[in-house]
Structure 1
């Protein structure tokens, strides 16, 4: 636990205006790359994602009584079902799935979360997280190599250079620049893509400096109807991100020298996270989750002030109305995103592997081997379930089967039981 005497600004302390500006911008840039990358990968509007992350963070801070310094950014865990839904239902289906995710959080916050460890032990969570990253490998490869319908060596060169530079930023940069390697990688890849002549600036030139994000609001932008397939594809994954949420709260407990499970209580932290996703769904953004990138900034700077996080949220909202910025983000060519995705999706998969290693999951036990095997192959192979007009992604099917197997399989197979 960090000694409070080492803290430069505690949770409830307000910085001076000059420091406030710089510290909040630092937090915004730390989450910026990942928050806008999710909508870019899925086909959503990055301006909306910035707006919903900012509003969601302010709502989270309000619900947690301004006691927890956390930032809500776009979640990568839902990319797989969102990509499938974009091809079938478009924005309305994704919106309903996102709202359903938030509702799951609110329900759990009301009934309690003591059962989560029983339903989602490491042997289930680890492989599911691995599936989230590995099932997207094909998308990354396609972005990095395919120009329309044909293979383009120039695209692949841009993707590999973007990947290499991002790795260098991750490995060799320190301080503030070391906190934003993804953003720096995207910027560098964009410059390389410009040199290769594969960037279309027409959208940037046509965009206004200040413009309203293209919000997708029910009854205003579209007439809503129930998309049960969308809801049932995304809602189960909320239990996976919930474990991430609990982990972040534990880290923040250690970092700030507090017990957030008691004050303001896990019911408030889950409700704040869920409300942020519901807000995102109503405006056309992706589901959100607390960001480890910003927790890392808190640890390094020793500035834990919630005012700084609130300032970052305000900056995110402001930048969402800069039309030129949104158009610039949307002009990032596919090979740049592909190069970043090689690393990013791999890191997600590796995070799942780390869960298994750190929690000492024993694969000599047949039970663990069966659960992990089923989740990995069904999820990565996207063995989706089609029931009439409803489609459930392979990730959702894998998650549900993993949970069921964990609940019904005995601790030891008969062949492992000594006579």
Structure 2
């Protein structure tokens, strides 16, 4: 049976893409996804100087739009992208939000243009450009590229090593692994959420959590939306912002391709074929345009949520939709939003060790399942280059233009795969 057929069911899945969980477990599983992505989602606007509540709301709306555009076939969560932090901070200091908004909308427009081109050309080129020897190492890089960030969250308190932070992170990690391995049924499926709660409770006991913002936040708080012609009137076109943001769309596209590869592997589907890469790109682009119109940062797919699915094998789009609805609603509930923001760095770091590690392990699984032979020099060269450039984050930066290590590694991997011969001269039989 065609694995993209709606009647196909992944035998490895606890809940497959079209499975709808019972209401009670649905609620908890969606909350688990919300907690997993929340830290990164609100961190981006805090660094840039935007309203975190808008980012939370636009992530929920953007995710729902992406799921609708991809015909409810891809369980992907969309939220704040880190790729645009540097130009966003610069623009907020010099010009203000209208410039950031135009740049964000430009990113979405680039996605839509590329989606149209892919729609005409088709997806056949993907199999040639992205064989297992390229896909496997890229997926490993996606999992490990943020390993340093997870370690920093787990050990550093305002730039100083904190043994208490390390203890909280390791406790969060150990409890998550314990819950995943020793609990049964539904409790095993929410091991990540239980690990976060355990780490949070320990943080409260050790005095790491600060509840002052929760006490001062109102129950209902309307996000400070920045909607053109309603909250402000754009008086000019900021070409500098557009030109600094638009090229970075290709960076997040490279990461987007990697995320789709991981989801293909997890769900036993070919999303490049159905619903098609043009739809996944259009979903990303539409999400960014909506975020720009609301006052949020550019949007992209999130590895944290893919990590959750890799751990619990629950790929239901309904669970992702539930998380999106929670995110949109919590954007208006001041105390709940503030409470989630009190989850300390070491808890996020501890859980990230699991989430990012599982993604990387799936990259290894791709190589093993496809019996990639590393005794061949061609495979050794391609895999080695991708891994070191990506994990080392050998970024390309020219002025405000910054191409991430993942993006550079992806381009080098594709190029080497297309250029290198099947055998090195030393391997040729005479």
Give the TM-score, by structure 2 length.
0.76
Q: Specify which of 196, 199, 202 is matched with residue 192 of structure 1.
A: 202
Deviations along 1:142-186, one digit per CA (max 9) or x if unpaired, are 221122232211111111111111111222233333223222222
* Contact 1:34 1:74 (8 Å CA) reproduced: no
Q: Does 1:226 align with 2:230?
A: no
Q: After alignment, is 310-319 or 242-251 more displaced?
A: 242-251
1:104-253 → structure 2 map (5 Å cutoff): 104-105=114-115, 107-213=117-223, 225-226=240-241, 228=243, 231-242=246-257, 244-245=259-260, 248=263
Q: Distance in 1 between matches of 2:341 and 2:18?
A: 37
Q: Does 1:334 align with 2:350?
A: no
Q: Does 1:396 align with 2:424?
A: no
Unpaired runs of 5+ residues, structure 1, are none
Deviations along 1:183-228, one digit per CA (max 9) or x if unpaired, are 2222221111111111111111111112234556679689954365
* Contact 2:106 2:246 (8 Å CA) reproduced: yes
Q: Does 1:58 align with 2:51?
A: no
Q: Distance in 1 between matches of 2:389 and 2:258?
A: 21
Q: Distance in 2 between matches of 1:400 and 1:387?
A: 17
User: Could you say if the C-alpha distance between residues 405 and 236 of structure 1 is closer, same or farther in structure 2, counting changes exceeding 3 Å?
Assistant: farther
Alignment size in residue pairs:
401
Q: Specify which of 272, 275, 300 is matched with residue 287 of structure 1.
A: 300
Secondary structure of 1:176's aligned partner: helix
* Contact 1:161 1:189 (8 Å CA) reproduced: yes
Unpaired runs of 5+ residues, structure 2, are 2-6
User: Could you say if the C-alpha distance between residues 293 and 175 of structure 1 is closer, same or farther in structure 2, counting changes exceeding 3 Å?
Assistant: farther
1:258-407 → structure 2 map (5 Å cutoff): 267-268=278-279, 270-280=281-291, 282-283=293-294, 284-285=296-297, 286-288=299-301, 313-407=324-418
Q: Distance in 1 between matches of 2:242 and 2:56?
A: 25
Secondary structure of 1:364's aligned partner: coil
Q: Does 1:73 align with 2:82?
A: no
User: Could you say if the C-alpha distance between residues 397 and 264 of structure 1 is closer, same or farther in structure 2, counting changes exceeding 3 Å?
Assistant: closer
What's the offset of the Cα at 1:108? Answer: 2.6
Q: Distance in 1 between matches of 2:242 and 2:399?
A: 12
Q: Distance in 2 between matches of 1:297 and 1:372?
A: 25
Q: Specify which of 70, 90, 108 is matched with residue 99 of structure 1.
A: 108
* Contact 2:227 2:293 (8 Å CA) reproduced: yes
Secondary structure of 2:402's aligned partner: strand
What's the offset of the Cα at 1:110? Answer: 4.7
* Contact 2:45 2:55 (8 Å CA) reproduced: no
Q: Distance in 2 between matches of 1:252 and 1:349?
A: 16
Secondary structure of 1:226's aligned partner: helix
User: Could you say if the C-alpha distance between residues 262 and 39 of structure 1 is closer, same or farther in structure 2, counting changes exceeding 3 Å?
Assistant: closer
Q: Distance in 2 between matches of 1:378 and 1:401?
A: 9
Q: Distance in 2 between matches of 1:382 and 1:172?
A: 36
- Residue equivalent to 2:4: none
Q: Distance in 2 between matches of 1:281 and 1:333?
A: 29
RMSD, aligned α-carbons: 4.2
Q: Distance in 2 between matches of 1:354 and 1:83?
A: 33
Q: Distance in 2 between matches of 1:53 and 1:105?
A: 21
Give the TM-score, by structure 1 length.
0.77
Q: Distance in 1 between matches of 2:282 and 2:227?
A: 22
Deviations along 1:303-330, one digit per CA (max 9) or x if unpaired, are x7x7786566434422232111221122
What's the offset of the Cα at 1:287? Answer: 0.9
